A and B are shown apart, each in its own frame.
Chain A
């Protein structure tokens, strides 16, 4: 039995990677960085973890070094943020295509320009279709637990895919939270050493990352797609196993007050804690609002979301990214696709909020709720298909 300890979430994330006994960490501290790889460098330098800490010359090289390390059979970890993830972008596809179980803590932050170091989901949404399994965290405990679960999911022989553990920049990465850090023995009994299927080794040479002619590329990508589709069963299995062993319950899709409400929000990440506060405030006024929180974003948990959505009248998708000229935000587009292709009769609304570190206030959600249920377009100015909460106009 462990006890909760006040700790910065980034530091806790690095301790989670240490508890997972990572063997290679490759990182380049481009601005904006976090304490995740910084603290891991201290852990390794202090001799507390037997790992190779590779200082590279860019984030592109950081992910490339992770690809090499994972191909050689090492348990591999890195962390990035915002522009750094953009620089890694090319290699994200290579890691998933080569089926390498790298785990990365992605501290979600706004992209330049304008320059920002603050939190939103612009970086991860630009990387959403890179073939990585993606988990989203609401609080520091989620981050620690998700990193430990991520290795077990990634390294499962039925999966063998990289996993991105997403945590919101600043509102999660730089805050001090009470976190229950499991003991090394507990983590060891949950997460066995990595046993790779193929490794780069001179005793048994193999070719990895080879060229595919037009006759094979479609089959290769289809195989990869099937792997990420089928990984959901393993994600669930690992979450169940974690819940049983550590007593903290995780599900691919979590809900809050949905059983009482006709109107629900869907959102990813740390803002969900603000939304829960707003839901509680609304409840005191006699208004019911629910929240659906996909903890798993890739593979898209369609069945679980459908189960949560069935019977609802209105769904508002809350996103921390500008659509960039699209009809709506990326999460909305997927929810709309799910609702329409399954013939559900649900009114869909889309709100953009919390860009570039802007706090989402409880009263703003309460106001948005009144708009959602009345379907009077107050926030939806300028003829768009989405509203932007808090924008001064």
Chain B
């Protein structure tokens, strides 16, 4: 969106609230919702990619060294990756804010 949501006046919204910009969901940083974040133990990680496969928000990516990490702008902290990780390489750590 061109400006924050709480600055739009009613007549500035499109008819039927149509969104004409393509792919603007990327502007919405859902990482704000997170209360705990996944932390990888690179020693335990076997690079199987299950965390990447299961992440419902496609927030996990593979680094150049083959290990995995989460993009914390979009990771909501759901913990599915930690639950699915077979070698137990992912720990959910409470956020301190």
Residue ranges of A at the interface with B (Cβ–Cβ < 8 Å): 97-100, 160, 197-198, 205-210, 212-213, 215-216, 218-220, 222-223, 226-227
Q: How large is the interface on B (under 10, 10 to 19, 20 to 34, 35 or more residues)?
A: 10 to 19
**A206 in complex: contacting residue of B10, B11, B13, B18, CB < 8 Å:** B18
Q: For residue A133, give the distance in angstroms from its CB to the closest CB of chain B.
A: 15
Assembled-state Cα–Cα distance A103/B52 (Å): 47
Cα-based distance from A333 to B9 in the complex (angstroms):
32
Contacts of A212 in B (CB 8 A): 17
The reply to whether A219 and B16 form a contact with Cβ atoms under 8 Å apart is no
Digitize B1-20: 1 where CB-to-A-CB distance is under 8 Å, 0 elsewhere. 00011101111011111111
Residues of B near A99 (CB, < 8 A) are: 15-16
How far is it, in angstroms, between the C-alpha of A149 and the C-alpha of B96 when the chains are bound?
Answer: 62
Contact B13 A223 (CB under 8 A): yes
Chain B's nearest CB lies how many Å from the CB of A221?
9
B22 beta carbon closer than 8 Å to chain A: yes
What residues on B are CB-neighbors of A160 within 8 Å? 15-16
Q: Is the CB of A220 within 8 A of B20?
A: no
Q: How far does the Cβ of A372 sit from chain B's closest Cβ, in whole Å? A: 43
Question: Is A219 touching B9 in the complex (CB atoms < 8 A)?
Answer: yes
| A-side contacts of B22, CB under 8 Å | 205
Interface residues of B in 19-57 (CB under 8 A from A): 19-20, 22
Interface residues of B (CB under 8 A from A): 4-6, 8-11, 13-20, 22
Q: Are B18 and A216 in contact (CB under 8 A)?
A: no
Known: A223-B11, A226-B10. A100 touches B5 (CB 8 A): no
Residues of A within 8 A of B6 (CB): 215
Tell me, in angstroms, the Cα distance from A140 to B6 when the chains sit together.
49
* CB contact between A216 and one of B11, B13, B15, B20 (< 8 Å): that residue: B13
CB-CB under 8 A from B18, the residues of chain A are: 198, 206-208
List the A residue with the shortest CB-CB distance to B19.
Answer: A207
* A99 CA / B22 CA spacing, docked (Å): 20
Q: CA A361 – CA B13 in complex, angstroms?
A: 51
Contact between chains at A198 and B5 (CB < 8 Å): no
Asked if residues A198 and B16 are in contact (CB atoms below 8 Å), the reply is yes
Instruction: For B10, give its contact among A208, A213, A219 (CB under 8 Å).
Output: A219
Min Cβ gap A210→B in Å is 6
How close is B45's CB to chain A, nearest CB, in angstroms?
35
- Tell me, rounded to whole Å, the shortest Cβ–Cβ distance linking B80 to chain A: 22
Chain B residues with CB under 8 Å of A223's CB are 10-11, 13, 17
Cα-based distance from A222 to B13 in the complex (angstroms): 10
Closest chain B residue to A96, Cβ basis: B16
CA distance A283 to B80 in the complex (A): 79
Question: Are B8 and A219 in contact (CB-based, < 8 A)?
Answer: yes
Which A residues are in CB contact (< 8 Å) with B9?
A: 219
CA distance A219 to B6 in the complex (A): 10
Chain A residue with Cβ nearest B20 = A206
For the complex, give the distance between the alpha carbons of A210 and B17 in Å.
Answer: 7
Contact of A100 among B8, B11, B16 (CB under 8 A): B16
- Asked if B16 contacts A215 (CB within 8 A), the reply is no
Contact of B13 among A98, A100, A198, A219 (CB under 8 A): A219
Chain B residue nearest to A160 in the complex (CB): B15
